[in-house]
Amino acid sequence: MTARRVRRRRRERARRQVSKVSRTPVKHYVRRRGWVEAAKSRQGRLGGSYLQVLTLCGEDALDVLLFAREGLIRRDARGFPDVSWCEWSAETAARLRMRLGRVRRSFLGSLEQLALGGDFDDWFPFDVVNLDFTALPFPRSQPPFNSTWKAIQAILRGQRSHGRGFELFLTFNATREPANEAAIRQLIEVVEQNFGIRPWSEQAFLAGSGSQSPNELSVQAYDKFLLVCLPKFIARLATDEQFVVKGLERFSYKRRPPWGATYSIVKFVLSLDPLPSPALRINVPPRHEIASQSYDELVRSSFESPGVDVDQVLQYEPGLRQSLGDEVASLLQEVPPMGA
């Protein structure tokens, strides 16, 4: 077999696997309890208007279909006018076009290319940005502040230029082995520095990690390490771009591929709002106080617990598992828009 055919087969196998995993109850639990809840709360704050969404929605686009069913975005005869999507696989993009029909914008290529390329400014603003990555947050082949984090920074900048708060959903593969050790060391250092500046945060961390140090946790349970430590890093990035993190939910579950070892998926649901303009009113606290108070709250809640273990929840709720599976099946039955 030629190298090209091998690559194509490998890509096809990965595509089928992503689609299969997207249909599982654990994943749908996060769509329902994490994404829809956060999006509804944003919609409520916007007075009930439809949301503008940027998503890596894959070929089934289950997030888009669910959002439309929940009245969060519009669906008309030709497609989904509030949705913008980005997809790096040409096969997946072709299927996605069939499923969603006309959308606000679409891009065939990586999110990193889109965000760090020329005309991304025209895509803004959004109310929900769903970066459902299938990759590691810190791959060994790239520097710690890699192109994915630069793309997230570009999204924050785009939103800031419109003064627009938004819900940010991030998903990562939490496999430790091919990770960038320098990035992990930097995360550990930042957390340990925090212990010096905010002594209460060490107690919170030890409570959440089962008395393990940041380094021990990174070795013993890398998924928990990311769930506990990454929010602080993201909040820092957000604050640098004049945003404050107002809400945080975290979820994790295991993936057991037919080939290779079991690994964890970690998911973050963040609610971000711009810091108020300086001295807009005299009776509001200064921006640095607002930022530092929210930052402390975020550090406390993320250190104290690694969030929801979805496998564990569904293990004890077979009825919920069944109804999540039924909803996925019914979303997949939806008829694509005309002309798609």
Which residues contact ligand SAM (rule: CB under 6 A)?
A: 18, 22, 31, 55-58, 60, 62-63, 86-89, 92, 110-112, 130, 132-135
Nearer to ligand SAM, 99 or 224 (CB): 99
Please report how close the Cβ of residue 111 comes to ligand SAM at its closest, in angstroms.
4
Nearer to ligand SAM, 62 or 298 (CB): 62
Nearer to ligand SAM, 20 or 185 (CB): 20
Tokens linked to 12: 């096809």
Nearer to ligand SAM, 131 or 272 (CB): 131
Please report how close the Cβ of residue 195 comes to ligand SAM at its closest, in angstroms.
33
Please report how close the Cβ of residue 257 comes to ligand SAM at its closest, in angstroms.
13
User: In DSSP terms, which residues pair with 172 in a beta bridge?
Assistant: 266
Nearer to ligand SAM, 114 or 191 (CB): 114
- Going by the DSSP 8-state scheme, the letter that residue 120 receives in this structure is G
Nearer to ligand SAM, 63 or 309 (CB): 63
Please report how close the Cβ of residue 162 comes to ligand SAM at its closest, in angstroms.
23
Q: Which residues of 112-151 are buried (b: 16+ CB within 10 A; e: fewer)?
A: bebbeeeebeebbbbbbbbbbeeebbbbeeeebebbbbeb
SS3 92: helix
SS3 8: helix
The residue ranges of DSSP E strands in the chain, in sequence order, are 53-55, 79-87, 102-108, 128-132, 166-173, 243-255, 263-274, 308-309
User: In DSSP terms, which residues pair with 267 in a beta bridge?
Assistant: 171, 251
Using CB positions, name the residue nearest to ligand SAM.
58
CA angle centred on 22, ends 174 and 268, rounded to 5°: 45
Nearer to ligand SAM, 66 or 272 (CB): 66
Please report how close the Cβ of residue 8 comes to ligand SAM at its closest, in angstroms.
15
Distance of CA 226 to the CA centre of its chain: 13
CA dist 132 and 27 (Å) reads 11
Nearer to ligand SAM, 54 or 217 (CB): 54
- The residue length of the chain stands at 340
Please report how close the Cβ of residue 245 comes to ligand SAM at its closest, in angstroms.
22
Please report how close the Cβ of residue 201 comes to ligand SAM at its closest, in angstroms.
32
Please report how close the Cβ of residue 55 comes to ligand SAM at its closest, in angstroms.
6
Give me the phi and psi of 146, to 5 degrees please: -85, -175
Residues 52, 56, 57, 59, CA torsion sign: positive
Please report how close the Cβ of residue 203 comes to ligand SAM at its closest, in angstroms.
36
Nearer to ligand SAM, 170 or 298 (CB): 170
- Say what angle helices 287-304 and 222-240 make with each other, to 10 degrees: 170
* Inter-residue contact 20 to 59 (CB < 8 Å): no
